[in-house]
Amino acid sequence: MAYQVLARKWRPQNFTQLVGQEHVSQSLSHALQHNRLHHAYLFTGTRGVGKTTVARILAKAMNCENLTDSNPCGKCNICMAFDEGRFLDLIEVDAASRSKVEETRDLLDNAQYAPNQGQYKIYLIDEVHMLSGHSFNALLKTLEEPPPHVKFLLATTDPQKIPVTVLSRCLQFNLKRLLPEQISTQMCFILAQEKIKFDTGALKLLSRAADGSLRDGLSLLDQAISFGNGEVALETVTTMLGTVAQQPVDDILLALANNNAVELLQKIADVSQLTPDFSAILQQVLAVLHRVTITQMIPGFVDNDCASDIIPKLAQLLITEDVQLFYQIALQGQGDLDLAPDPRSGFEMVMLRMLTFRPDNSAASDQKQKVNVAGQNQARVIKPAPEATPLAVKERPVDESAAEQKGEVKSWSEMVAKMKLRGFALQLASNCVLKGLDDKVCNLLLDSGYAELKTPRAEEKLQTALQQYCSHPVKLTIEFGEIQGETPAKKIIQKGEQRQQDAVDSINTDENVQALKDHFDARVMPGTTEPLSR
């Protein structure tokens, strides 16, 4: 039998096997349990996080004859047909290669016919953002009023390119980038099942190089197994990735902390003998500086994922302002490496820039030592907001429009926009209305139909953003109930629909268009008018 790569061999077959996407698997499992299946799902996220995999699992579960805890059983005729690629009612299309409107129309011509094998006929369109504008228009009508036996599963890495008219008719799930710890844990499990020897440190390097993509991580793992002749050792992985050990990075940062330019350049010269990737070294420097900042802010913090032993020493030698300055210079220096005459000189200039712009902080350093001594015995205290500037709104139902006119508080939509939320936290906030807000508590109301949006992770991110917005600790509470007003999400949809209608009205009232209609019997094709992007 031909060798099958790890990313395909260990592709999840049910929701339980999914890694790092619990918010999606839980929502879909509940929908399957209560038979509340939407007619169109949109899965978004970066490459290799499981968009198509989730869509295939959902398609299999929708048609499975014997669901087990909302998971496809894998043993019935439908599941076996899915696994063997002979299930006739799954129409899987790559929009990148079939983007023409004629192909889309041909695809949807058979939607009216009943499924052959399963309960539902499922259209799985990958990279749906690659469809042309006319293809989206052809898809829109069927997507708006599909037959009861048809389900649409869409996947994309770029949802911004999908028309708002299509987005508003889909239930959207944003799949998260995986953490290095999650990727490393899955690699460890797979290697144990494959009975391949490995070093834990090697898996940490591979998981960081995967950059949030489990598929990329497993591809790198395949490469490491081949490179290491059947084993995954730290030395071979380090050589394969072109990285250097942690010790040279620690020596460079120690010379930087001691303000010793000669030693700094000597350490860089020693590292250059290993022909390293200086961009990767700069990333290691950023990682260490990040851990140093956490150690300074939270004394006694322990991070088992960090291999450097010099972090506590650097936290004592450097003041917080210097660490922040070094981090910013290193962050901007990553873009300068490609512009430098060669990577080594570019890296040297980044490190020398840190020395050049480092202020004389001798007095501040003495003060820092006193603070550190005091901080060893007590936790860092966050000062409450001054009593002279409380929020004007007390705990009561909020009429956003009236509040805006009185100038008491900004609307919830404006607050959501200024908090700069992303992902699931943004979806949660956008589907809530502000019920009450005072100095201590922010009370939101969420429609029961969107209960799956209220996950602990999303609620935690929303509370963090809310505290940053209010500049003092605020407790977040979210209740379920019927929403009378308009949520930020509804306002966005209405604004998009209004812009669309304004564009259509503008075309229909245009004098030139009217002249073409009168003289040549012309007409404006429905669905071909779109507002200008702003």
Kindly state whether residues 67 and 197 are assigned to the same domain.
no
66 part of a folded domain: yes
CA diameter of the chain? 87
107 & 58 share domain = yes
**For residue 399, which amino acid is it?**
D
Per-residue pLDDT tens for 209-259? 888 899 999 999 999 999 998 899 988 888 787 665 567 888 899 899 888
HEC string of 279-313 equals HHHHHHHHHHHHHHHHHHHCCCCCCCCCCCCCHHH
Strands 171-174, 40-44: pairing kind: parallel
Do 258 and 340 reside in the same domain of the chain?
yes
Q: Is residue 391 part of a domain?
A: no
Task: Return the amino acid letter for 454.
Answer: K
Residue 355 sits in a domain whose CATH number is 1.20.272.10
pLDDT score of 306: 55
CA distance 51 to 129: 14
Spatial neighbors of 180 by CB under 8 A, at least 6 apart, are 204, 207, 208, 210, 305
Q: Would the CA dihedral through 127, 132, 138, 141 be positive or negative?
A: positive
> Based on the domain organization, do 361 and 330 belong to the same domain?
yes
471: left (phi over 0), alpha (psi -120 to 50) or beta: left
Same-domain check for residues 10 and 124:
yes
pTM attached to this predicted model? 0.57
Asked whether residue 384 is assigned to any structural domain, the reply reads: no
Domain assignment of residue 189, yes or no: yes
Q: Among the three residues 221, 241, 261, which one is the final residue of a domain in this structure? A: 241
State the Cα–Cα distance between residues 82 and 100, nearest whole angstrom: 27
**Tell me, what's the pLDDT at 422?**
84
In a domain, 382, yes or no: no
Based on the fold, state whether residues 60 and 118 are members of the same structural domain.
yes
Partnered with residue 476 across adjacent β-strands are 442
Q: pLDDT grade, residue 97 (50/70/90)?
A: confident
Domain hosting 503: range is 492-534
Which pLDDT tens digit goes with each residue over 168-180? 999 999 999 999 8
Query: b or e along 201-220 (b: 16 or more beta carbons within 10 Å of the residue's beta carbon)?
Result: bbbbbbbbbbebbbbbbbbb
Same domain for 134 and 30? yes
Domain boundary among 224, 241, 258: 241
- Phi, psi angle pair for 60, to nearest 5°: -65, -40
Asked whether residue 152 is domain-assigned, the answer is yes
Q: Which residues contact 491 (CB under 8 A, 6 or more apart)?
A: 413
Amino acid at 69: D
Query: What strands, in cross-sheet order, belong to the sheet with 475-480?
Result: 432-437, 441-446, 475-480
- What CATH number should be reported for the domain holding residue 433? 3.30.300.150
Q: Is residue 306 part of a domain?
A: yes
User: Residue 108, Cβ neighbours under 10 Å: how many?
Assistant: 18
CA gyration radius for the chain? 28
Pairwise pLDDT comparison (327 vs 513), residue with the higher score: 327
Same domain, 220 and 366: no
**Percent of the chain at pLDDT exceeding 90:** 30
DSSP states of 91-138: EEEETTT--SHHHHHHHHGGGGSPPSSSS-EEEEEETGGGS-HHHHHH
Digit-coded pLDDT (tens) for 322-377: 999 999 999 999 888 889 999 999 999 999 999 888 776 544 444 444 444 444 44
Question: Are residue 167 and residue 187 in the same domain, yes or no?
Answer: no
497, 439: one domain: no
Asked whether the CA dihedral 82, 86, 89, 90 is positive or negative, the reply is positive
> Domain end: 148, 174, 200, which one?
174
Cα separation, 274 vs 242, in Å, equals 9
Q: Read off the CATH number of the domain in which 74 is found.
A: 3.40.50.300
E strand or H helix at 65, and its extent? none
Q: Which of 197, 220, 225, 198 is nearest to 207 (CA)?
A: 220
pLDDT in tens, 403-431: 443 344 568 888 888 888 888 888 889 88
Domain match, 302 and 344 both: yes
Can you state the angle between helices 278-297 and 343-356, rounded to 10 degrees?
Answer: 30
What is the CATH classification number for the domain harbouring 223? 1.10.8.60
Please give the pLDDT value at position 184: 92
pLDDT score, position 244: 56
* Mean per-residue pLDDT over the chain, rounded: 83
Q: Give the tens place of pLDDT for each residue, 278-303.
A: 888 898 899 889 989 998 888 766 56
How many domains is the chain built from?
A: 5
Within-domain flag for 1: no
For residues 81 and 132, membership in a common domain is answered with yes
